[in-house]
Structure 1
Amino acid sequence: MTTHDSLDLVVLDMAGTTVADGGLVEQAFSVAAGLLGVEPGSPEHAGMLDHVRATMGESKISVFRHLFGDEDKARSANTAFEKAYGELVDDGRIAPVPGARETIEELTAAGRTVVLTTGFARTTQDAILRTLGWQDLAPLTLCPADAGGRGRPYPDMVLAAFLRTGAVAGVRQTVVAGDTAYDMLSGVRAGAGVVAGVLTGAHDKDRLARHGATHVIGSVAELPDLIARAEAAPAAGTARAEA
């Protein structure tokens, strides 16, 4: 039963947090950019790739809007990116982060509701879930389109998880975990009680902490213990970073 201090809604990012994709985002971006005439190895390509790395976690269509300006080009790039990424996923180029499935099952067994989120389109998210056999692992999965179209760093997906599951009485009873600065900003802006950065993905401890992480842990496998400690603390979720 949910209590005032229980952190019973856990919103988890996918790529880099629960899913290891071995740099497929950059590979798929290069395919998409090439189709729009950006030469691999050129200064233009390098600058765009730097932006992609800096904005890991953001909705991919938003990234392409920034890079190409023109809406039609952005949509063409996004379609090409999602197609390329999906093909790489179908080739078996992804795997769970070690301990991720077990962590989700442990959290669920403890009575917590787990929601998986992504900056990818629904078709790509479904391809990842299907490849991993995770279709039924979490009761709810969300992409930006499921939250009105705005992905991270907006709080919309976290708030959609809160509203759709009804798992907790207030947003402070929510845990958000991710590997990027945008994951941290999304959790902070949603008012989550714990915003946990993990070091298995795009950004390092300092960057995660600068963007609002209340805790930084080595991987998602450490999350159940972190949540238990946060619930036991006098002021669960107050800002501090743990290595």
Structure 2
Amino acid sequence: MKQDHTKNIQGIVLDWAGTIVDFGSLAPMGAFVELFARHQLTISIAEARVPMGLPKIDHIAALAQMPAIAEQWQNLKGRPFSHTDAEELLTEFEPMSAQAALDRCTFIPGFMAAYHALKAQGLAFATTTGYTRTIMTPLIEIAHAQGFTPALVVCCDDVARSRPDPMGMWACLEAMGLQGQAAQVIKVDDTAPGLAEGLAAGAWTVGVAISGNALGWTHEAWLQASPQDQAHARTSAGALLLSAGAHEVIDSVADLPDAIARIEQRIAQGETP
């Protein structure tokens, strides 16, 4: 599809869990809690969420550095947590996480409609993720079979420096034919590290508040919540994403066309990312 050069935005780089699949970004949480429990370490879902968006080995290391968890490790092992420990836990984590990701690989409601509409307008698509290639391979195959065919999927272990470094974004720009045109690209993500890689590349950023890690609810819980609870959740999750540098915040990727329209207006008024 030929790109529409009457528009400024020419490409979209999407995150995966919490952004286009796995409403609530729940798959990684259970896997992290189970991983540490196997080693007699107690972590909460709230603790597991804090480093979300980082490459998984960095996520494991960040959890192990939290004071309460670091103390548990020291007491059990008689030594501080090391990079070798992180590598060993990642090896254990990957098959657990891969299964959890497969169990929650359904697209976010409204995503495919938005994707097809934007693709028909000539926008290019690529993706990055904090998941490893091992975890992502079956998910990519399922997504392709359902009609989602981005120009590139950059996994955290595909690049020398993953999030928040912009290397993954640079690879996406090249794959979309938009090298050096980051200001014509939007990064869509539900986590601070994921938004940071977009900002580091010089792209616009859109945070997804309701479907992602910032809130962490299932789709059913969201639909069943009262209007007051929904409003409070939207405000608190949105504030987290805005503080992480999001230029725009939406409920879910289903609302991406509206965010693009607002960014086009900002560009017309002379704004840059």
TM-score range, shorter chain: 0.7 to 0.9
Alignment root-mean-square deviation, CA: 2.3
Residue 235 of structure 1 deviates from its aligned partner by 3.4
The alpha-carbon deviation at position 210 of structure 1 amounts to 0.6
Contact 1:10/1:176, CA 8 A, preserved across alignment: yes
Aligned mates of 2:186, 2:166 — CA distance in 1 = 13
Q: CA deviation at 1:30?
A: 2.0
Find the aligned partners of 2:98 and 2:87 in 1 and give their Cα distance: 16
Within the alignment, does 1:94 sit opposite 2:105 as a pair? Answer: yes
Residue 156 (str. 1) matches residue 167 (str. 2): yes
Residue 63, structure 1, aligned to residue 96, structure 2: no
Superposed displacement of residue 110, structure 1: 1.1
- Which residue does 2:264 correspond to in 1? 231
Stretches of structure 2 lacking an aligned partner (at least 5 in a row): 65-80, 215-236
* TM-score between both structures, scaled by the size of structure 2: 0.75
- Please state how far the C-alpha of 1:138 moved relative to its aligned partner: 1.4
Offset at residue 162 of structure 1 (A)? 1.2
- Indicate the larger mover: 104-113 or 210-219: 104-113
1:186 aligns with 2:182: no
Aligned partner of 2:16: which letter?
Answer: M
Amino acid at match of 2:59: V
In structure 1, how many angstroms separate the alpha carbons of the residues matched to 2:164 and 2:48?
14
- Cα distance in 1 for residues equivalent to 2:240 and 2:148: 33
Q: In the superposition, relative to structure 1, how do residues 134 and 32 fare at CA in structure 2: closer, same or farther (>3 Å)? A: farther
Tell me how far apart the structure 2 counterparts of residues 76 and 102 of structure 1 sit (CA, whole Å).
Answer: 40
What do residues 93-130 of structure 1 show as CA deviations (whole Å, max 9, x unaligned)? 33110011222222221111111221010121122223
Structure 2 distance, partners of 1:64, 1:7, is 35
Q: Deviations over 1:174-194 (max 9, x none)?
A: 1011111222222111110x2
Q: Counterparts of 1:105 and 1:6 in 2: how far apart (Å)?
A: 19
Whole-angstrom CA distance in 2 between matches of 1:114 and 1:222:
16
Scaled by the length of structure 1, the TM-score of the pair is 0.84
Q: Helix, strand or coil for the counterpart of 1:96? A: coil
Q: CA deviation at 1:65?
A: 2.8
